[in-house]
A and B are shown apart, each in its own frame.
Chain A
Amino acid sequence: MLIRHGGDLTENDVTPHEVWLRRREFLALGAAGVGLGLAGPASAIALKGAPSRYSTTEPKTSKADVTGYNNFYEFGVDKDDPARNAGSLKTSPWTVKVDGECARPGTVDLADFLRGNTLQDRIYRHRCVEGWSMVIPWLGVPLADLLKRYQPTSKAKYVAFETLHRPSEMPGQNRRVLEWPYREGLRIDEAMNPLTIMAVGLYGESLLNQNGAPMRLVVPWKYGFKGIKSIVRISFTESQPRTAWNQSAPHEYGFYSNVNPQVDHPRWSQATERRIGEFRRRPTLMFNGYGEQVASLYRGMDLKKFY
């Protein structure tokens, strides 16, 4: 389904005024989520977000499937490995290093990184490059709001992200299935697009480890692997950063990796997808149905070349 509310949104549409007035409560909730979400699945804490017009009204994928069917190779390559193995990851304390082409680089505690931002509900379609999809009710903060504080300079053309590298708690990192740490990247305008969020929760609770606790990227018009999990470093760069899957198989996974039914993956068609919980395949939408918000970012680009 296409989102009906498009590019004519203002700040007020994103965060209702009454919610904005209560932002410190949400902040407290967010900070609590960070502080309490330390011991894995059992201790997921309740979070509340402000509704967003970017959310889809499509039926949500069940929580059991969202938290039980994951690609997170740091915890094993099978879909049920992350749910089984991710409990070993300690997400508190958690610090984030922000560096590169910005005026105010620094290393901050997660609570400080998120401080002052209102959590939003974002119910997004999620399309995996493997041909399956979900609808996930994320809770998060627009990435732009988080990044602006570090005052990226005019040289900041890209944003690079890194996942934690801690093989003692991420057993999958003991084998070089991919080059660790996992890396991802966005062009700065993609990072600043209002659809791009840093998610800290889903289904009204702080993220479980298998979903990328304590915080992960969500870029709904790109294939799921762009949504890097358990982020510890964010760098503003002048040149296009390396990304994990592109390093692993450059002909299969491009830097952009926008959902595009016309550009097939060499090993499988991207024309259709299976929504988890449904029987029949359904057609895949250009930019995963978010073209209205993001198509302009790629105007004039040959998306077959920049796949």
Chain B
Amino acid sequence: MTRRTVDGIVLWAVSLACLLPLLWLVWRGYQGELGANPIETVIRNLGVWGLRLLIVGLTITPLARILKRPRLIRVRRPIGLIAFSYIVLHLSTYIGVDQYFDWASIWKDILKRPFITIGVAAFLLLIPMAATSFNAAIRWLGSQRWRGLHRLIYLIVPMGVVHYYLLVKADHRPPLIYGGIVAVLLGWRAVAALKRR
């Protein structure tokens, strides 16, 4: 097999894997197994998977460096875009199903509830990243500027963790675990940047 074919297979396999949680959710919905409060289940599930995939996306660069497999970097884009799709669905379910387009109530939520404020802010920051996730965008922006823009993710993922942390009532262990992983991944980058100097 040529390198190209292998790359293609890897990209498709990774993308499909990223879509499995969504397919599982749809299947459970179809079977009527989303529990007593299906809307909450769907919102929670989509949000958690969006965050998880963003975190998986953050592991790719360190992995590629540590394993000395630079071509691994290519899977970063589909992971990121699929994570973004989960978050779009997460937010749309909140707006269109949970709140049923009650814009006054949504606006109040954004202003008054810190976890929603930070969640919406993180989503807005994701938009320019998703919008420039194709090769021509890198050429148009120039690779320096493109990289600068995509460093937003170092801000967005911690915001996502805080969003999760703030909405949990008492058991803060899961968001703290995510926070710990993110701290390690960003810490590795900080150390790598210092070494390069």
Contacts and interface: CB of A to CB of B under 8 A. Distances in A.
Given A268-B109, A274-B98, 11 more contacts: A69-B35, A73-B170, A79-B37, A132-B40, A177-B170, A264-B112, A268-B113, A269-B108, A274-B40, A276-B36, A276-B37
Contacts of A69: 35-37
29 contacts: A65-B36, A68-B36, A69-B35, A69-B37, A73-B170, A73-B171, A77-B169, A77-B170, A80-B35, A132-B40, A177-B170, A177-B171, A178-B170, A248-B170, A267-B114, A267-B166, A268-B109, A268-B113, A269-B105, A269-B108, A274-B37, A274-B39, A274-B98, A276-B36, A276-B37, A277-B36, A280-B100, A281-B98, A281-B99
Interface string A57-69: 0000000110011
Contacts of A264: 112
Interface residues of B, number: 21
Contacts of B108: 269
Interface in A62-94: 64-65, 68-69, 73, 77, 79-80
Given A177-B170, A177-B171, A272-B105, A267 B113 contact: yes
B105 to A, nearest CB: 7
Interface residues of A, number: 28
Interface of A: 64-65, 68-69, 73, 77, 79-80, 130, 132, 175, 177-178, 248-249, 264, 266-269, 271-272, 274, 276-277, 279-281
B115 interface: yes
B118 to A, nearest CB: 12
Interface in B106-132: 108-109, 112-115
B109 A269 contact: yes
Contacts of A276: 36-37
